Amino acid sequence: MIRISKYKILAFTFFAMTAFLVVSIAFAIPDPFTEKHIMSGLISDWIDDMFKGQTVGDIKNLLYIDFDTIKNGSVTIAANVGKTGNASGGMTINMAVIPKLYKIFQNLGIMVMIMYFGAGLLEELSFNQMYIEKMIKKFVFLVIGVVLISQAMELVYGIANIGSAIVLKAYNVATSTGYNTPALDDVKAEIWSDIYTVNPDASAIKRLLQNMADLGVQVGYVTQMFIPWVINKLCWVLLQVVCWSRFIELTLMAVVSPIALSDIAKGDANTSNTARAIKNVIALSMSGSIILLAVIIGSSIQASIFAEAVTANNFGSLCWEQVIVGIVQVGVCFRANDITKTALGIA
């Protein structure tokens, strides 16, 4: 049996208490330049990260894309999110391969359309059902198909640019009306009044003791905010996943659109998938505005709940409520395309 002398226990206790006291004093003494404690600075940074660092503007920059520039070989995206690229801070993506891939699918689409047209003629002739009206109708649809396939990329990107314009309009309306109220600076000021109650006219010893007492309140705020902050960061990552997925999916649709448009040569609007394909492009383009609206609404609710958590002195439970709103917000963003399809009647 190992025995530990009481002197070693006392020495360990003394060093542990000394280390705790030193750390407490280090955390309790405010920065002479910013007049903030280390903990209060951390709380302030977390609040900025939860509400200001992940603003609607960042989402807008991931959704507002000039798709016409892809035809020229590049596109600038995420003006405030991307940290490399042009002078505006945007991320310039080399998309030179897209027009070349589109040409391949364009030629394939023309071939498939001719096959549909020929198969339709043979079917009508084999049943002796070919009339002059049907012949004219099939040739008209063939011409329409040639025009659509030759301009398929412009059609998809044109619809996508309309979606970008709506995103920009919604963002401008939101920022002009002050969607994210109350001001988070006021919330931080209220937290600051809770965690820093030192009388500047008191003696140095009294100020130090009060700083150490205030440290406990600061630790309480940090403890309650840590997990919500982590979840909030995860939600932000998931929102970026949604936005980048939309961009990549729209680009893929533009490349393979000739195949989707080729069956218009069947000459039957009831069996052709062309209209459905165009509606799907419209739905995906409009989903950007649904995502932005979800973030605007969610951010407003989160900021209000957070402010209420401080003023109502119910920080712990209400802080978790704004996390729940953030999770719901992400779920709605993932369903944005389905919501738009429902609105267009193609769900």
Taking the C-alpha atoms of residue 344 and residue 163, their distance in angstroms, rounded to an integer, is 14
Element (H, E) at 189: helix 184-195
Tell me, what's the pLDDT at 331? 92
Taking the C-alpha atoms of residue 100 and residue 121, their distance in angstroms, rounded to an integer, is 32
Other beta carbons less than 10 A from residue 263's beta carbon? 21
Tell me, what's the pLDDT at 291? 92
282 burial type by CB count under 10 A (0-12 exposed, 13-18 middle, 19+ buried): buried
Taking the C-alpha atoms of residue 250 and residue 285, their distance in angstroms, rounded to an integer, is 8
| pLDDT tens per residue across span 195-211 | 666 665 566 566 666 66
Residues of the chain with pLDDT > 70: what percent?
Answer: 64
The stretch 242-267 carries a mean pLDDT of: 87
Tell me, what's the pLDDT at 98? 84
Q: Is the per-residue pLDDT at 31 higher than 80?
A: no
Tell me, what's the pLDDT at 84? 37
Q: What Cα–Cα distance (Å) separates residue 75 from each residue in 69, 98, 134? A: 5, 11, 44
Q: Is the per-residue pLDDT at 167 higher than 80?
A: yes
**Residue 67 pLDDT grade (very low, low, confident, very high; cuts 50, 70, 90):** confident
User: Which residues lie closer than 8 Å to 115 by C-beta, 6 or more apart?
Assistant: none
Residues of the chain with pLDDT > 90: what percent?
Answer: 10
Comparison of pLDDT for 212 and 288, the residue scoring more: 288
Tell me, what's the pLDDT at 121? 75
User: By the 8 A CB rule, do 35 and 50 touch?
Assistant: no
Tell me, what's the pLDDT at 249? 92
Tell me, what's the pLDDT at 144? 85
| pLDDT tens per residue across span 227-242 | 888 888 888 889 889 9
Averaged pLDDT of the chain: 76
Other beta carbons less than 10 A from residue 179's beta carbon? 16
| pLDDT tens per residue across span 70-126 | 766 677 676 544 333 344 456 677 777 888 888 899 999 988 888 888 877 777 777
Tell me, what's the pLDDT at 205? 65
* AA letter at 68: D
**Residue 282 pLDDT grade (very low, low, confident, very high; cuts 50, 70, 90):** very high
Tell me, what's the pLDDT at 82? 39
**Residue 286 pLDDT grade (very low, low, confident, very high; cuts 50, 70, 90):** very high
Tell me, what's the pLDDT at 325? 85
Comparison of pLDDT for 47 and 36, the residue scoring more: 47
